[in-house]
Amino acid sequence: MRRTALLASAALLAGLLPWAATARAADEPAPVPVDRFEGEVPFAAQPAEGIFTWGGDSDDPPALRLADRADAPEGGKVLAGSYDISGYGGFTHDYAATAPAHDWSAHRGIRLWWDGRNNGRKIAFEIKDGGANGEASELWTTSFTDDFTGWKQVELPFTDFVYRTDYQPVGGIDHVLGLKETWGYALTLPAGTKGDFAMDGVELYGTADQALRASVTTDAPVVPVREGRTAEVRVTVATTGEQPLADPVTVTYATADGTASAGTDYTPVSGTLTFPAGTASGTTRTVAVPTRGDRAAEPAETIPLKLTVSGAKAPAETPQVVVDAHGLPYLDPRLPVRKRVADLLGRMSLAEKAGQMTQAERGAMTQPGDIAGYALGSLLSGGGSTPTPNTPAAWAKMIDGFQLRTRATRFQIPLIYGVDAVHGHNNLSGATVLPHNIGIGATRDPSLAYRTGEVTAAEVRATGVPWDFAPCLCVSRDERWGRSYESFGEDPALVQSMETVIQGLQGRANGKDLSRDDKVLATAKHFVGDGGTAYGSSTTGTYTVDQGVTEVTRKQLEDIHLAPFRTAVERGVGTVMPSYSSLDIAGDGKGAVKMHARGDMINGVLKDRMGFDGFVISDWNAIDQLPGDYAAHVRTAVGAGLDMMMVPYSYKDFTATLTDEVKAGRIGEDRVDDAVARILTEKFRLGLFEHPYADTSGAAAIGSGAHREVARRAAAQSQVLLKNAGGLLPLKKSEKVYVAGSNADDIGNQTGGWTLTWQGASGNTVPGTTVLQGLRRAGGDVTYSKDASAPTGGYDVGVVVVGETPYAEGVGDVGNGHSLSLSEADQAAVDKVCAAMKCAVLIVSGRPQLVGDRLDGIDALVASWLPGTEGEGVADVLYGRRPFTGQLPVTWPRTEAQLPINVGDASYDPQFPYGWGLTTLTRVPKGGTATLRDLGARAAAAERHGDDRSGRALVTEARLLVQQKAGDHLTEAVSAPFADADHLLLTGRYGKAVEKLAQAYRAA
């Protein structure tokens, strides 16, 4: 993401003479120029000093020039430019990040001349303040509107600048605009239509008087208090630059009418607080508000405390003392949850119920007070939506601040906050980032899947988040899909076996563990069929597969796509999220219908037939994809069985529309009551009513050695050895190893999408260990050359780590700027290294890559998937600390033309079949058909006796025997029964599985 802002050097500033373009007050000092645009500051690129442009993509940065203008307000030139921005774009005057900052604290503000177009567009103006250098500072922003024609001097008082909450590059320092260390400015230009602009004469103006430099704040906007106790509201005065007050500041306070009654519920108070001249910045005074007890059960009641400030800037909002709700049955934790839900539901208004059904994005709220104003039931962080700084403590503080706002509502119903923690707490910097689901599926280890769920839940809940939008239970049937790595595999039986992760996240299926400080509510997604969308069926932007249409028979739907959700419901999953995709069931006469509109599936199958008793949450803005106007979207979605709507930016419209539709009789009140009851049930189970705030006692375990050890083991077990000619792997410590490839030393590529941001990013994005670092830590004799440009002579073996760069969802669809082929650079690295020495090629990717044309020249081939932050796990199997045990969770195709290709297909001739995975450090049984007959008989006996452990072990022995014989000679006659055997193993049919393997053995 872009960095903004910086200034001219001190030397340049000192050399510029003040100029007087406008009149000023007699006692106002001369302005101090910042930019004259006469050529004194060059156009440049970071980190050199100069003016540079930036944007969301290659077309977004504006085109800038220094233009001669006879009407220039100052000098003869102006800064002019043109733009056509679809995402975001603008320009910055940047000063070298390590040079001394500038002291602007003596000035009232910054101003500039702007050549108005009278187009009504807003131009954002940003400055960087404080911190160690320009790349470690706070961003503060304001804006002005182009609603005039011709040149006008636009003044931007520093008091108008606000701390950016949507993005901060390095984190908050003190959240005070001190102006003593200012690093520069930037302008963000309007997006959406073409335009041009001209500006001139940026300067500092005026003298900072105390009314502009001092501010009064309260410790909290909401101050809860138990009935009969005294609330204390702390009032603090602060100054920019942290200087003592030059003049007195007075704060007159008085309680006012809220929902509490003066004299009955509280004792009115009023008075004046005085902060004399010389008072230190940060000084605090306290206002005490006594409340009265009457022993009657009551909802919460509010007491606004109005503040009138003289000599400083007043608080942004009026603080409210809140007498906590008390004595009502729903507050009694001794009652059964169903009784608490019934009591609370019976007290709620329609508006309060609508609020509970609404989920907003935390960064999209107009103001934090909207939580209480709209009685919001939930907030979320979308991918990359994080607090500043992005630390566990900042997450907990942020969510506690949101929860505090709910205390100002009648019934003080806590928020349920959700995140996409899809492979660990992946939005949090420093969290343990686990392999993506495709790698977990490759481990074939349900106990490990359970453990990864435990690690994720513990790290998520320790930051105050009780709800995880995971796991994805999609059955990926076409690896051209950009979400295929979010699937455990292509076989519903494999997906079902990995659903132990739900217990890892939630605990026991009855929900009794949800209130623990290391458990979270899980989400089974995306119901139903999102892994089956046909290539080319998507109508979303340039997507090719994601959000497309799944065409199935009723039997295919039941056997493939619904099966994992049956298991999830049996395991007590708390929430379910429908898919963006459409479902077209052969013969039902409906055609392709968006899943968010399929009441027959959500109400009929999920809730009624399967007995799901949790709540259904929509996907991000998904109801906007339904046909009709917005009221129709709401009617359709609620009627189909959705209980909570993820409406990140349109929460106000949703609550208003839902309320109107119920009042008009177009949505039944019973449907609303059912939805709200389901939501409240999970909030009670989570213990949020008793403990709404973050329990950070487990924060020390975030990214801990113990958690990373789980991730390391998962990375090791997820590695699938596809080829190992001559037993090249495992490597020997004595061998000289030449490492190359784009993904050998790139933790961003190694962790993939959904890592810190939605799409993820290449580079040094998160703490962890790359594959290269893992090899070095293992004690290997390693030389690294990313592009294989270093001499290749004198090495025993090469390890080339190649694959994909990060992506998420439809952005990663093949045909949408992505393919299943290695990049030219990766191909060149493979070719050069493998021509010079024996080589092992590791493919770090979210899906199979087509390597058939190079396979003969590769001695060992490993599917490394997206192993997460623990590259030492990959090194563990390469150097033999652990054996290779992973198996393909999806079929590895020969060509893209074969796709979709899946286990059980009538025609099945892949490069490597589903379930394939060679081993190291493992004894392969001796014998042939007679051995297989014996294994089959014993496996059938184990099946009859319910001895799953023995049955699986016997099938594994047979599989190793077949793989040893088949070697590199995989034909359809071998691959088809081999893949079928792995499906049979996962469904507990051990005898039949060995029969299939015997068939493959005979064909090999």
Residue 380: which of 459, 466, 453 has the closest Cα? 466
232 contact partners, CB below 8 Å, separation of at least 6: 223, 286, 287, 288, 289
- Cα gap 136→142, rounded to integer Å: 20
Annotated active-site residue in 420, 619, 746, 813: 619
Helices 630-640 and 669-685 pack at an angle, to 10 degrees, of 60
- Cα gap 160→108, rounded to integer Å: 11
- Cα gap 909→892, rounded to integer Å: 10
Cα angle value 763/768/774 (rounded, 5°): 100
Residue that has been written with the tokens 């003066």 in this structure: 262
- Cα gap 973→161, rounded to integer Å: 71
- Cα gap 286→202, rounded to integer Å: 42
Residue 292: which of 270, 321, 313, 316 has the closest Cα? 321
- Checking DSSP bridges between strand 582-585 and strand 593-594, what pairing results, if any? antiparallel
Cβ-based neighbour number of residue 970 at 10 Å = 22
- Cα gap 984→93, rounded to integer Å: 65
- Cα gap 583→838, rounded to integer Å: 49
Judge whether 419 and 398 are in contact, CB under 8 Å: no
> What are 675's two structure tokens?
């939805």
- Is residue 690 part of the annotated active site? The answer reads no
Give the gyration radius of the chain's Cα atoms. 32
> What are 314's two structure tokens?
């007043």
- Cα gap 182→130, rounded to integer Å: 6
- Checking DSSP bridges between strand 270-275 and strand 378-381, what pairing results, if any? unpaired
- Cα gap 487→502, rounded to integer Å: 14
Residue 862: which of 688, 964, 720, 981 has the closest Cα? 720
Judge whether 273 and 287 are in contact, CB under 8 Å: yes
- Cα gap 393→400, rounded to integer Å: 10
Provide the phi-psi class of 765: left if phi over 0, else alpha when psi is between -120 and 50, else beta.
Answer: alpha
- Cα gap 580→571, rounded to integer Å: 24
Q: Tell the burial category of 958 from Cβ atoms under 10 Å away from its Cβ (0-12, 13-18, 19+).
A: buried
Is 306 in a helix, a strand, or coil?
strand
Phi, psi of 841 (to 5 degrees): -110, 125
- Cα gap 231→218, rounded to integer Å: 13
Annotated active-site residue in 115, 181, 370, 809: 809
- Is residue 809 part of the annotated active site? The answer reads yes
Residues identified as active-site: 619, 809
